[in-house]
Structure 1
Amino acid sequence: MSFDVGTYSSFEQMAKGEWHLPIDNATLNAVRRRSQNLMRDFNEERHPERARTIAEEWLGAVGGGSTVVAPAFIEYGRNTFIGPEVFINAKVTILDSAPVTIEKGALIGPDVRLITVNHPVYDVEMRRHGWEKADPITIEEEAWIGAGVTVLPGVRIGARSVIGAGAIVTTDIPADSLALGVPARVVDTLENSQEKWERDELPDGVPVRAMDYRHTITKR
């Protein structure tokens, strides 16, 4: 039987979440080389404005006011979409075989791993012969992903939710939730939690929106 493995190795199949073979072919190699070159340039660049220009070329989208702290490892780049006012701390790893979307105002801590790609779990022979499948990850608006968190394929983190440091997120987390542990479990709700607001610890007269009083923003 003849079989053309190239029919199962396109970037489009990979990004759509179909079973695929990430073999060496001209298209995938070109995407990988492009990402590797831009990643190197981004991680070595020390001028904030030039680094942002590189990031805008490297990634699928970078919203206004967003910051990505080097070094960063993002496998393909073009499948990563960063909204406005996002902050991504150092040493993020994003395996973006499928789309990774980080929405407005989200915070990503250091050493966070966003992994969209998966291998066969039960079919050892299929796994041994290189088959992969990817599912998208979405981090909704104003969610905070703590240091060292791993988010696995197909997960959606709800708006304003907080994922505690070191958690491994295997399933969707609803909006306004605090999730901790391995695997991550919702331990509290953040909705209608005014009695726990940290603003009560601020000195009298200090506004919550203190950043609005700055005339300029210092770039990292």
Structure 2
Amino acid sequence: MTPAQEDEVLARIAEGLVYTEPESASQNSERRTEQIFDYDHTPPREEGRRRSLLVDILGSVGERTVLLPPFHAAFGSNVHIGDDFFGNVNLTFVDDVDIRMGHGVMIAPSVTPTTTGHPVHPARRVDFARFSGPIVIEDKVWIGSNVVVLPGVRIGYGSVIGAGSVVSRDIPSMTVALGTPCRVVREITDEDLTTRLAGR
């Protein structure tokens, strides 16, 4: 593929248009597969090595971050996390384009933010054709277990996403949202300063 062709493919990816596996091959140098394997197999006592690997893997990483292994990523280099991030086990980043997480984000086990989907008609899925849209998770968001966040979604500041939800559209700040598809069920207010559960 010529540089001009690569630029054309990258432009289509950035616009959320369909592209194929062969067309995306020019991005393979950005994959951090080996480093992710090393991270997932580094003993807990080697905190310094884990931190060093995480800095090498991710596009950017803040301070006081915790990412419990195992985690998985298509690239790793397209993931950006802020300060005071906590990610529990089996976090899977499908990061063909950027996934950006703010400060103070908390993620429960087995969550999948996926920037990439596939066309509905099988004739358009030749050569693993797909499209991608960036994901933004703003500061202080808490995401429950087994949540899937779909391409192009933004989750607003301070929001809570209930366990098992499929987030297919933007979620506004300071709300509790849950379900499949994920929907806002209420706002977060000062009354929540005296309660323990999201639903009470």
TM-score, length basis structure 1: 0.80
Equivalent of 1:196 in 184, 192, 198: 192
Partner of 1:90: 89
- Report the 3-state secondary structure (helix = DSSP H, G, I; strand = E; otherwise coil) of the residue aligned with 1:23: helix
**Is residue 164–residue 179 contact of structure 1 (8 Å, CA) maintained in 2?**
yes
- Tell me the residue number matched to 2:34: 37
In structure 2, runs of 5+ residues without a counterpart are none
Q: How many residues matched? A: 193
Q: CA deviation at 1:19?
A: 2.5
| CA gap 1:21/1:44 in 2 versus in 1, 3 angstroms | same
- Tell me the equivalent position of 2:125: 127
Cα RMSD (Å): 2.5
- Deviation by residue 1:35-72 (Cα, 9 ceiling, x = unmatched): 11011011011211110100100110010111111100
Tell me the distance in 1 between the aligned counterparts of 2:115 and 2:194: 34
Does the CA-based 8 Å contact 1:89-1:108 persist in structure 2?
yes
Q: 2:58: which partner in 1?
A: 59
Partner AA of 2:152 in structure 1: G
**2:9/2:19 contact within 8 Å kept:** no
Say if 2:19 and 2:130, in contact at 8 Å, map to a contact too.
yes
- In 2, the alpha carbon distance for the partners of 1:194 and 1:59 equals 35
Return the offset for 1:197.
2.1
Distance 1:176 1:158 in 2: 7
Gaps of 5+ in 1: 201-220
Residue 150 of structure 1: aligned partner: 148
Change (3 A) 1:168 1:26: closer
Whether contact under 8 Å (1:95, 1:117) holds in the other structure is: yes
- Equivalent position of 2:136 in the other structure: 138
Note closer, same or farther for the CA distance 1:25–1:81 as it changes in structure 2 (3 Å cut).
Answer: closer
- Rg larger in 1 or in 2? 1
Q: Is this contact kept in 2: 1:8–1:19, CA < 8 A?
A: no
TM-score normalised to structure 2 length? 0.87
- 2:71 is matched with which residue? 72
Note if contact 1:8-1:21 (Cα within 8 Å) is conserved in structure 2: no
Once residues 63 and 166 of structure 1 are traced to their aligned partners in structure 2, the CA distance between those partners, rounded to angstroms, is 27
